[in-house]
Structure 1
Amino acid sequence: MPRLFQLTCALFLISITFTTAVTFIGDDPVVELSLGKIQGDRMQSFRNRTFYAFRGIRYAQAPVGQLRFANPLPETSWGDEVLQATADSLVCPQPGVVSYMSEDCLKINVFTKNFEEKLPVMVYIHGGANILGSGHSSYEAGPQYLLDQDVVFVAFNYRLGALGFLSTNSSETKGNFGYLDQVMALEWVRDHISHFGGNPEMVTIFGMSAGSMAVSLHLASPLSAGLFHRAILMSGSATNHFDIDNLYWTRKLARELGCPMYDPTDVVECLRNESWARIVEVCKAWESYQLITMKWNYEIDGHFLPSHPTELIAEGNFNKVPLLISYTANEFDYNAYVHLGNQHLLHDMGSNFVDYAPELFLYRQDANIGEQLKDFYLGGNTTEINAKNIEDFGRIFSDAYIGHGVHRLVQLARAFTPVYYTRMDYVGDRSLTAPLNGDNKPVGVAHADDLQYVMPGYWYGTVMTENDTDVFMMERMTSWFSHFAKTGTPLNSTDTWPPCNLTHLKMLYNGVETQVGAPGYSDRYLVWDELFPTAARSGGAAGKLSLVVAIATGVACRLIGKLM
């Protein structure tokens, strides 16, 4: 009896500690962390349910002064002061309106309905080609849709552009600062999310575009091991062919700012004395064609990444969690439409495609690759890019930047972990880049168009109304995501959406109705597989057999792809 009495008292004290960790000042909640107290406020979900918002919490020290171009340091205690977390922080420096930005931007937002439960946690990593974007609740990462589901939602900022990825290729400045910021944000979630009703043992990371590439890097990084338990990747993966030289862009930046270019210490110290606004301004001028030309990428640094992510995942040397992987039917197909009136540029790109292609599609100069891409997508004799073939030109961007990397991730990861593979085919009322038809409706579903059904943001207009024709897709997507966050499967039954594994490869086509079939665009992705093969996993007879199987599979994929 005494032991039972002690156990009962202990449980009672734990219950008191847990329930009294949250107090209220009027209607606003105050949560006490090991770092100090935080006051949030209330918001309304799409279905008009009240939830609690804590915005602008610093998760790392301000990366200014000597901490610019340095690994992040965790935030320290703020003592007895109650931190006011009732508004979003300024976003990290990027091309745009300077007054909305600050280098002191490593802040995190948390949204929850209930402090007493242990709900699945969904952590969003924003996209933007590593130079744009934020976790801001109005600009991009609105919580209104997901908070109608039983999840805790988290979004955050991380360093971008040169400030996040500058590298001198030295032990002093290896780059990857933006990715290390993300690791620190995930560590903050692990350490503190239980105070907001979240379960630190049930964390799902998800991202779109460059944010999705980041998710794939966390799959590969040993630093991220144990910090998440599921992953959702929307239109992006680092298992691609990209050849981006951060050192080249670092030296170009240094030269244009009048800084030293070669000695790592001299380069960094000089650039630390420049304003962040000037650094962003110089880098912005490099985007000369208004096309997707990513400049800053990860470094294989022996710390965040021990080797190339494709190699790590192919070997099974990655964080094996259930995966939900998607892309949109048209991604960047309409990317070049902005230049339809620029006949001279399009003519030059068409007649000199092989010379433009390495810069546009991010591979090392190789005339053979350019010739094969041109022959497959445009026809070898093409000298003009015009209204008749500009969408074919755009498909090269779609496959180079998104489709093939996603395809390769599915192919590699399915041998080791369940992979739910889907393509967004639903054409809604709004699109970021798809042109409109005669009925003022988008002609396709372009890059990032699927994100509007997961979270509202500035780019997609206001939060939907209850009678919006796209509401059903929002409810479908948020239901899939939250179910996946809880169980590791997007639906109750795998019969209607089977996972890809070592022996089965299926895709769910997400239109007005859903259907399961063979993966789409296989003929297109096979071209990239052949141009940018992965390293052989084994040699000898087994290796030769694998090659035969791969060739046979490739032929079958070409036939299947032409039917999709």
Structure 2
Amino acid sequence: MPRFFQLTWALLLILIGFTTAVTFIGDDPVVELSLGRIQGDTMQSFGNKTIYAFRGIRYAQSPVGQLRFANPVPETSWGDEVFNATSDSLVCPQPGVVSLMSEDCLKINVFTKSFEDKFPVMVYIHGGANVLGSGHSSYEAGPQYLLDQDVVFVAFNYRLGALGFLSTNSSETKGNFGFLDQVMALEWVRDHISHFGGDPELVTIIGISAGSMAVSLHLASPLSAGLFHRAILMSGSATNHFDIDNLFWTRKLARELGCPMYDPTDVVECLRNETWTRIVEVCKAWETYQLVNMKWNYEIDGHFLHNHPTELIKEGNFNKVPLLISFTANEFDYNANVHLENQHLLHDFASNFVDYAPELFLYRHDAQIGEKLKDFYLGDNTTEINSENIENFGQIFSDAYIGHGVHRLVQLASHFTPVYYTRMDYVGDQSLSAPLNGENKPVGVGHADDLHYVLPGYWYGPLMAANDSDVFMMERLTSWFTHFAKTGTPLNSTDIWPPCNSTVLKMLYNGVVTQVGSPGYSNRYAVWDKLFPTAAQGGGAALKLSFAVAIATGVASRLIGKLM
């Protein structure tokens, strides 16, 4: 916007009785918050619209010193100085390039096209198995697609790995620090987003993978009540069987760093004296098989979470907002392909499946569960995993980490709130994990392959060219998501995409064309329902419904995947 028109617009607002806390230094906007003034800069959307970008805003105090392994503390006023928010912050410590990281990472990005409107707000919670990822606008969370629509977009960093989820199982250190960071970021949005043209009463949280699991936790957490009004979950939900012992990993970390292992105060004080680089280095060494895995998870702490999210949602004791829930047709099917040449490891996986399975698929050791999973996916007599059946092996990762938890969330939540359920079947020109066919095109759509149609970035897929053959899918998904953020429905007509409810479960299959049908892979998920029943199921009505849908649909296809 030329400077003349900026000044004219500001004068007009004053004359008609409105005031604005926005001024401009050249083309750069300066917004006045209760915390102080903040200067941003401009970017261009995919459709060449001007985006006002405010990046690297501190929403919580730096979690260092005594604030490491402690609940986040809100940022305080920075006084008369103008806060420079013209570049992304360093990301939170994680395996990767150390120079790009800092423990002082609790920063938030805001992108808007207008300061005078009250646009719906979309807040992104990144994924990465609780050890990777960021809200960085170049790496993962670019606003260029969404800001062609009339929304305000927000992304942020939160603590990861041991720094975000370490727990001594005591009143002193309960864990959940990364999730409490997310709550504080949402509180920041509630308190300040109106200054950026956003409506604090119309906030949608959107998460991918572990970020989607986090969204499901915010559904279940009393601390998050009222902080959001819609939720989009892409490939993940905490309504699963995971049995992850944060205390075990905390003690393992302490032991390997030569710290005390048992007294909570001694453990934490010792680990506070270690460098974050050393902590990340030690934890990274635990990932030996190069397969999707999680080591850190939520705690039922009586504060952020009062019960298992499955139980809370089953009982209807959750934040009931409209839900849009998706997953990809081929989540982690090719997760194990990295080991196709490692015949000895694949042979050992097959011949000792029951022993490996609890670690690989995150459940408490039970030989019967392992035997039934092997029998269903590989066949009871299988002694080899090779190119002929490695996709079947990968399907276990797909269902264990993503599919069954998502399926269960849809089943449980749809009794209390509208749930729009969809599967991404469209195979685009690029994939994070799918092998290529003879025409150099991915053979499937793997985990997070749908994210780059919504948020461009280095990790998941760069900004598309205007003539890219996948642009139509970007326009479709951003239209669905922003319409959902505005209205609570992804389309104008629920006849085209009906929501799931207590009596009807429907899925929209999102390929080149879309079609609605019975939920896919229900026969596979019925196996997990039986192996890991909710307290209410135990072979009851919900389980019978799952088997009925499975029989009716008979859907069982092959998938693909990589990291969460």
**If the length of structure 1 is used for normalisation, what is the TM-score?**
0.95
Distance across 2 between alignment mates of 1:293 and 1:197? 39
- The residue identity in structure 2 corresponding to 1:42 is T
2:235 counterpart residue number: 235
Partner SS, residue 459 of structure 1: coil
Q: Give the conservation status (yes or no) of the 8 Å contact 2:217–2:309.
A: yes
Report deviation, 1:305.
0.1
1:407-556 → structure 2 map (5 Å cutoff):
407-536=407-536, 547=540, 550-551=543-544, 553-556=546-549
1:219 counterpart residue number: 219
Deviations 1:133-190 (A, max 9, x none): 0000000000000000100000000000000000000000000000000000000000
Partner SS, residue 56 of structure 2: strand
Partner SS, residue 110 of structure 1: strand
**1:58 and 2:58 aligned:** yes
Q: Give the conservation status (yes or no) of the 8 Å contact 2:529–2:543.
A: no
> 1:193 and 1:404, CA in 2 relative to 1: closer, same or farther beyond 3 A?
same
Task: Detail structure 1 runs of 4+ shifted over 4 Å in the superposition.
Answer: 12-17
Pairwise CA RMSD of aligned residues?
A: 1.5
2:550 counterpart residue number: 557
Partner SS, residue 51 of structure 2: strand
Identity percentage of aligned residues? 83
Distance across 1 between alignment mates of 2:283 and 2:147? 37
> 1:319 and 1:486, CA in 2 relative to 1: closer, same or farther beyond 3 A?
same
Distance across 2 between alignment mates of 1:24 and 1:223? 37
Distance across 2 between alignment mates of 1:261 and 1:35? 41
Report deviation, 1:17.
5.8
Distance across 2 between alignment mates of 1:550 and 1:376? 18
User: Where in structure 2 are there 5+ consecutive unaligned residues?
Assistant: 1-12, 558-564
Partner SS, residue 277 of structure 2: helix
- The residue identity in structure 2 corresponding to 1:87 is S
Report deviation, 1:92.
0.0
Distance across 2 between alignment mates of 1:117 and 1:207? 25
1:186-225 → structure 2 map (5 Å cutoff):
186-225=186-225
Distance across 2 between alignment mates of 1:417 and 1:404? 20
Partner SS, residue 18 of structure 1: coil
1:299 counterpart residue number: 299
**If the length of structure 2 is used for normalisation, what is the TM-score?**
0.95
1:126 counterpart residue number: 126
Report deviation, 1:217.
0.1
Distance across 2 between alignment mates of 1:101 and 1:549? 46
- The residue identity in structure 2 corresponding to 1:375 is D
- The residue identity in structure 2 corresponding to 1:465 is A
Q: Matched residue pairs, number?
A: 546
Deviations 1:407-427 (A, max 9, x none): 000000000000000000000
- The residue identity in structure 1 corresponding to 2:132 is L
Report deviation, 1:293.
1.6
1:308-319 → structure 2 map (5 Å cutoff):
308-319=308-319
1:6 counterpart residue number: none
> 1:139 and 1:16, CA in 2 relative to 1: closer, same or farther beyond 3 A?
farther
Q: Give the conservation status (yes or no) of the 8 Å contact 1:523–1:557.
A: yes
> 1:18 and 1:310, CA in 2 relative to 1: closer, same or farther beyond 3 A?
farther
1:173 counterpart residue number: 173
1:215-364 → structure 2 map (5 Å cutoff):
215-364=215-364
Distance across 1 between alignment mates of 2:477 and 2:256? 45
Report deviation, 1:198.
0.0
Deviations 1:190-224 (A, max 9, x none): 00000000000000000000000000000000000
1:377 counterpart residue number: 377
- The residue identity in structure 1 corresponding to 2:553 is I
> 1:371 and 1:563, CA in 2 relative to 1: closer, same or farther beyond 3 A?
closer
Distance across 2 between alignment mates of 1:461 and 1:515? 26
Distance across 2 between alignment mates of 1:14 and 1:245? 61
Q: Give the conservation status (yes or no) of the 8 Å contact 1:18–1:116.
A: no
Deviations 1:424-457 (A, max 9, x none): 0000001000000000000000000000100101
- The residue identity in structure 2 corresponding to 1:130 is N
2:19 counterpart residue number: 18
Deviations 1:305-362 (A, max 9, x none): 0000000000000000000000000000011010001111001001100000000000
Distance across 2 between alignment mates of 1:553 and 1:430? 33
Report deviation, 1:555.
3.9
Distance across 2 between alignment mates of 1:413 and 1:269? 41
Deviations 1:507-527 (A, max 9, x none): 000000000000000000000
> 1:548 and 1:72, CA in 2 relative to 1: closer, same or farther beyond 3 A?
closer
User: Where in structure 1 are there 5+ consecutive unaligned residues?
Assistant: 1-11, 538-542
Q: Give the conservation status (yes or no) of the 8 Å contact 2:44–2:51.
A: yes
Deviations 1:260-311 (A, max 9, x none): 0000000000000000000000000000000012000000000000000000
Q: Give the conservation status (yes or no) of the 8 Å contact 1:244–1:297.
A: yes
Report deviation, 1:558.
3.2
Q: Give the conservation status (yes or no) of the 8 Å contact 1:64–1:103.
A: yes
Partner SS, residue 335 of structure 1: coil
